[in-house]
Chains A and B, each alone.
Chain A
Amino acid sequence: RKEVEQDPGPFNVPEGATVAFNCTYSNSASQSFFWYRQDCRKEPKLLMSVYSSGNEDGRFTAQLNRASQYISLLIRDSKLSDSATYLCVPLWGKLQFGAGTQVVVTP
């Protein structure tokens, strides 16, 4: 089993709609989690940090399920600028990146 698994997508989302996707991780010792977004040909940028059961920041909500070892990201009221690859990153001493979920928001 891979350390971090994500649905690669792409998730094609109409503008204004809601999209959600999951990330599963294998190391139960992970205490913190991050969602990064990466635009094409750019470096990853931190989107959210998650320590307890979840976190919410504007249109973005992350939920953590430690029992099932997955973390989800939900984007409400999608904007065209939300089109990117979203990388799930559990932290256990170092960052291990998932392969990413591609989201494409269409007009």
Chain B
Amino acid sequence: SAVISQKPSRDICQRGTSLTIQCQVDSQVTMMFWYRQQPGQSLTLIATANQGSEATYESGFVIDKFPISRPNLTFSTLTVSNMSPEDSSIYLCSAGQGTLLNYGYTFGSGTRLTVV
């Protein structure tokens, strides 16, 4: 299965600023996703990062707040824009081969974001 390098691992940011999180996969993958996990909660899907086209956002998430890039099959970024304390959370990227279901999807180690 793919190995994902995610950075930064953590950050403390001022409200109103933006943070870009990067995920690098060690092999080409068809699918990449971005999740958010708030304390004590499960993972909430933010969007599917589509290679070469705009990301597909889930209900409650918009491109202006969470712009996503995916320039190729091994790399994606998520930006958390105009941050407020409510954005404090763990952000995780996930990647996998859509047709190779026996491997599931692997996750980056997460970015722990605190907005002050």
Contacts and interface: CB of A to CB of B under 8 A. Distances in A.
Specify whether A and B are partners.
yes
Interface of A: 32, 34, 36, 42-46, 49, 51, 87, 89, 91, 94-100
B77 interface: no
B101 A99 contact: no
A70 B110 CA distance: 29
Given A43-B92, A43-B109, A97 B43 contact: yes
B41 A99 contact: yes
Given A49-B104, A97-B45, 12 more contacts: A32-B101, A34-B105, A43-B109, A46-B1, A46-B103, A46-B104, A49-B102, A87-B42, A94-B31, A95-B33, A95-B105, A98-B42
B106 interface: yes
Contact of A34 (B31, B44, B104): B104
Contacts of A96: 45
A107 B42 CA distance: 27
A49 B94 CA distance: 16
B66 interface: no
Interface residues of B, number: 22
Interface in B1-47: 1, 31, 33, 35, 41-45
Nearest to A43: B107
Contacts of B48: 94
B101 A91 contact: yes
A96 B46 CA distance: 11
Nearest to A34: B104
A95 B108 contact: no
A42 B37 CA distance: 11
Nearest to A46: B104
Nearest to A35: B104
